[in-house]
Amino acid sequence: IASMLSETPNEATTFGLLEATQMSPSKFMLCLVILSVHQVEMDSGVESDQLLCKTTVPLPGDAKVEWMEKNDRRVHVYQNGSDQPEEQHQFYRGRTKMNEDLLKTGDLSLTLKYPTDGDTNIYTCTVYRREGNVLLKRQMELKVKGQCCRYRSIVVWIKSIVLLGLLRMAVDLLRHVEPAISFREVKGQPTIFWAVYDPVETLIIIHS
Protein backbone atom coordinates (compact mmCIF):
# COMPACT_ATOMS: atom_id res chain seq x y z
CA ILE A 1 0.00 0.00 0.00
CA ALA A 2 2.88 2.40 0.73
CA SER A 3 4.20 2.04 -2.82
CA MET A 4 0.72 2.68 -4.21
CA LEU A 5 0.46 5.93 -2.28
CA SER A 6 3.70 7.25 -3.75
CA GLU A 7 2.00 7.70 -7.12
CA THR A 8 -1.09 9.56 -8.20
CA PRO A 9 -3.97 7.17 -7.49
CA ASN A 10 -5.78 5.88 -10.56
CA GLU A 11 -9.06 3.99 -10.74
CA ALA A 12 -7.56 0.57 -10.04
CA THR A 13 -5.57 1.88 -7.09
CA THR A 14 -8.62 3.59 -5.64
CA PHE A 15 -10.76 0.47 -5.73
CA GLY A 16 -7.97 -1.73 -4.41
CA LEU A 17 -7.47 0.47 -1.38
CA LEU A 18 -11.20 0.63 -0.73
CA GLU A 19 -11.33 -3.15 -0.58
CA ALA A 20 -8.37 -3.17 1.80
CA THR A 21 -9.92 -0.59 4.11
CA GLN A 22 -13.11 -2.60 4.39
CA MET A 23 -11.06 -5.53 5.65
CA SER A 24 -9.03 -3.32 7.97
CA PRO A 25 -11.03 -0.57 9.78
CA SER A 26 -7.83 1.01 11.09
CA LYS A 27 -7.14 2.36 7.57
CA PHE A 28 -10.45 4.23 7.33
CA MET A 29 -8.79 7.67 7.08
CA LEU A 30 -6.61 6.36 4.26
CA CYS A 31 -9.77 5.46 2.38
CA LEU A 32 -11.13 8.98 2.67
CA VAL A 33 -7.95 10.48 1.22
CA ILE A 34 -7.76 8.12 -1.75
CA LEU A 35 -11.46 8.49 -2.55
CA SER A 36 -11.30 12.26 -3.01
CA VAL A 37 -13.42 13.63 -5.85
CA HIS A 38 -11.67 13.52 -9.24
CA GLN A 39 -12.44 16.27 -11.73
CA VAL A 40 -13.34 15.36 -15.30
CA GLU A 41 -13.97 17.73 -18.22
CA MET A 42 -16.03 17.13 -21.35
CA ASP A 43 -16.65 19.29 -24.39
CA SER A 44 -20.26 19.97 -25.25
CA GLY A 45 -21.42 19.22 -28.76
CA VAL A 46 -19.50 15.93 -29.04
CA GLU A 47 -21.42 12.76 -29.83
CA SER A 48 -20.28 11.00 -26.65
CA ASP A 49 -17.62 10.90 -23.94
CA GLN A 50 -16.72 8.68 -20.99
CA LEU A 51 -16.54 8.84 -17.23
CA LEU A 52 -13.63 6.45 -16.72
CA CYS A 53 -13.90 3.97 -13.87
CA LYS A 54 -11.77 0.79 -13.72
CA THR A 55 -10.71 -1.71 -11.08
CA THR A 56 -8.47 -4.76 -10.74
CA VAL A 57 -10.48 -6.08 -7.79
CA PRO A 58 -12.29 -9.35 -8.72
CA LEU A 59 -16.03 -8.72 -8.96
CA PRO A 60 -18.69 -11.35 -8.29
CA GLY A 61 -20.93 -12.28 -11.21
CA ASP A 62 -24.09 -11.25 -9.34
CA ALA A 63 -22.83 -7.79 -8.40
CA LYS A 64 -24.87 -4.65 -9.09
CA VAL A 65 -23.25 -1.55 -10.62
CA GLU A 66 -25.00 1.77 -10.11
CA TRP A 67 -24.12 5.25 -11.33
CA MET A 68 -25.77 8.08 -9.39
CA GLU A 69 -25.52 11.87 -9.38
CA LYS A 70 -25.53 14.13 -6.35
CA ASN A 71 -29.29 14.79 -6.53
CA ASP A 72 -29.90 11.06 -6.00
CA ARG A 73 -31.01 10.52 -9.58
CA ARG A 74 -30.05 7.16 -11.08
CA VAL A 75 -27.87 7.68 -14.12
CA HIS A 76 -27.32 4.01 -15.06
CA VAL A 77 -27.93 0.60 -13.45
CA TYR A 78 -26.34 -2.73 -14.42
CA GLN A 79 -27.65 -5.87 -12.70
CA ASN A 80 -28.22 -9.55 -13.48
CA GLY A 81 -25.93 -9.33 -16.49
CA SER A 82 -27.72 -6.49 -18.30
CA ASP A 83 -28.65 -2.82 -18.15
CA GLN A 84 -31.80 -1.80 -16.28
CA PRO A 85 -33.14 1.23 -18.20
CA GLU A 86 -36.42 1.23 -16.28
CA GLU A 87 -34.49 2.26 -13.15
CA GLN A 88 -32.87 5.26 -14.86
CA HIS A 89 -34.01 8.82 -14.38
CA GLN A 90 -35.71 10.04 -17.55
CA PHE A 91 -33.07 12.77 -18.04
CA TYR A 92 -30.45 10.08 -18.76
CA ARG A 93 -32.64 7.47 -20.45
CA GLY A 94 -31.23 6.52 -23.84
CA ARG A 95 -28.07 8.60 -23.26
CA THR A 96 -25.88 6.20 -21.28
CA LYS A 97 -24.04 2.97 -22.02
CA MET A 98 -21.67 0.60 -20.22
CA ASN A 99 -19.23 -1.96 -21.61
CA GLU A 100 -20.12 -5.61 -22.08
CA ASP A 101 -18.71 -8.15 -19.59
CA LEU A 102 -17.86 -5.26 -17.28
CA LEU A 103 -17.79 -7.49 -14.19
CA LYS A 104 -15.13 -9.67 -15.83
CA THR A 105 -12.99 -6.88 -17.26
CA GLY A 106 -13.38 -4.49 -14.33
CA ASP A 107 -14.10 -1.63 -16.74
CA LEU A 108 -17.06 0.16 -15.17
CA SER A 109 -16.72 3.29 -17.31
CA LEU A 110 -19.91 5.10 -18.29
CA THR A 111 -20.44 6.48 -21.78
CA LEU A 112 -22.54 9.65 -21.80
CA LYS A 113 -24.07 10.63 -25.13
CA TYR A 114 -24.49 14.24 -26.27
CA PRO A 115 -23.23 15.89 -23.05
CA THR A 116 -24.51 19.40 -22.34
CA ASP A 117 -24.14 21.98 -19.59
CA GLY A 118 -27.01 20.26 -17.77
CA ASP A 119 -24.80 17.20 -17.23
CA THR A 120 -22.32 19.15 -15.09
CA ASN A 121 -22.59 17.34 -11.77
CA ILE A 122 -20.94 15.03 -9.24
CA TYR A 123 -21.28 11.35 -10.19
CA THR A 124 -20.73 8.25 -8.05
CA CYS A 125 -20.11 4.72 -9.30
CA THR A 126 -20.95 2.08 -6.69
CA VAL A 127 -20.68 -1.71 -6.87
CA TYR A 128 -22.90 -3.71 -4.50
CA ARG A 129 -22.66 -7.32 -3.47
CA ARG A 130 -25.77 -9.43 -3.83
CA GLU A 131 -26.52 -8.89 -0.13
CA GLY A 132 -26.52 -5.13 -0.65
CA ASN A 133 -23.16 -4.38 0.93
CA VAL A 134 -20.96 -1.82 -0.83
CA LEU A 135 -17.98 -3.49 -2.48
CA LEU A 136 -16.45 -0.60 -4.45
CA LYS A 137 -17.10 3.11 -4.78
CA ARG A 138 -15.74 5.95 -6.91
CA GLN A 139 -16.79 9.60 -7.11
CA MET A 140 -15.95 12.24 -9.70
CA GLU A 141 -16.96 15.77 -10.64
CA LEU A 142 -17.91 16.33 -14.26
CA LYS A 143 -17.74 19.75 -15.91
CA VAL A 144 -19.15 20.15 -19.40
CA LYS A 145 -17.70 23.25 -21.02
CA GLY A 146 -18.59 25.33 -24.05
CA GLN A 147 -22.30 24.77 -24.59
CA CYS A 148 -23.57 27.38 -22.15
CA CYS A 149 -21.36 30.12 -23.56
CA ARG A 150 -22.45 29.38 -27.11
CA TYR A 151 -26.13 29.48 -26.15
CA ARG A 152 -25.69 32.80 -24.37
CA SER A 153 -23.93 34.32 -27.37
CA ILE A 154 -26.73 33.21 -29.69
CA VAL A 155 -29.41 34.61 -27.35
CA VAL A 156 -27.61 37.98 -27.08
CA TRP A 157 -27.25 38.11 -30.87
CA ILE A 158 -30.95 37.37 -31.43
CA LYS A 159 -32.00 39.99 -28.87
CA SER A 160 -29.82 42.59 -30.58
CA ILE A 161 -31.38 41.84 -33.97
CA VAL A 162 -34.91 42.04 -32.55
CA LEU A 163 -34.28 45.31 -30.71
CA LEU A 164 -32.68 46.89 -33.78
CA GLY A 165 -35.66 45.83 -35.90
CA LEU A 166 -38.15 47.31 -33.43
CA LEU A 167 -36.19 50.55 -33.27
CA ARG A 168 -36.18 50.92 -37.04
CA MET A 169 -39.92 50.25 -37.15
CA ALA A 170 -40.50 52.99 -34.57
CA VAL A 171 -38.37 55.46 -36.54
CA ASP A 172 -40.21 54.69 -39.79
CA LEU A 173 -43.53 55.21 -38.02
CA LEU A 174 -42.50 58.56 -36.57
CA ARG A 175 -41.45 59.79 -40.00
CA HIS A 176 -45.09 59.68 -41.08
CA VAL A 177 -46.59 61.20 -37.93
CA GLU A 178 -47.25 64.90 -37.63
CA PRO A 179 -46.92 66.43 -34.16
CA ALA A 180 -50.33 66.52 -32.45
CA ILE A 181 -49.40 69.51 -30.29
CA SER A 182 -49.86 73.01 -31.68
CA PHE A 183 -47.54 75.82 -30.69
CA ARG A 184 -48.00 79.55 -30.71
CA GLU A 185 -45.06 81.56 -31.93
CA VAL A 186 -43.92 84.17 -29.46
CA LYS A 187 -41.78 86.95 -30.81
CA GLY A 188 -38.31 86.93 -29.38
CA GLN A 189 -38.55 83.29 -28.18
CA PRO A 190 -36.47 80.42 -29.61
CA THR A 191 -37.85 78.10 -32.25
CA ILE A 192 -39.36 74.83 -30.96
CA PHE A 193 -38.38 71.64 -32.74
CA TRP A 194 -38.86 67.86 -32.46
CA ALA A 195 -35.97 65.44 -32.96
CA VAL A 196 -36.09 61.66 -33.52
CA TYR A 197 -32.91 59.63 -33.11
CA ASP A 198 -32.05 56.94 -35.66
CA PRO A 199 -28.89 54.74 -35.28
CA VAL A 200 -28.22 55.42 -38.97
CA GLU A 201 -29.41 59.01 -39.37
CA THR A 202 -31.10 61.68 -37.28
CA LEU A 203 -34.50 62.91 -38.46
CA ILE A 204 -35.38 66.52 -37.54
CA ILE A 205 -38.97 67.73 -37.68
CA ILE A 206 -39.06 71.51 -37.22
CA HIS A 207 -42.10 73.41 -36.03
CA SER A 208 -41.83 77.18 -35.96
The string of DSSP letters for 76-119 reads: EEEETTEE-GGGS-TTTTTSEEE-TTHHHH-B--EEEES--GGG
Q: What's the rounded Cα separation, in Å, for the pair 60 and 57?
A: 10
The string of DSSP letters for 13-46 reads: HHHHHHHHHHH-GGGHHHHHHHTPPEEEEEETTS
CA-based nearest residue to 33, from 56, 57, 54, 8: 8
196 falls in which pLDDT band (50, 70, 90)?
low
Residue 26 has pLDDT above 50, yes or no: no
Which residue did the predictor score with more confidence, 107 or 10? 107
Domains (range + CATH), the chain = 2-145 (2.60.40.10), 149-207 (no CATH)
Check residue 29 and give its pLDDT.
34
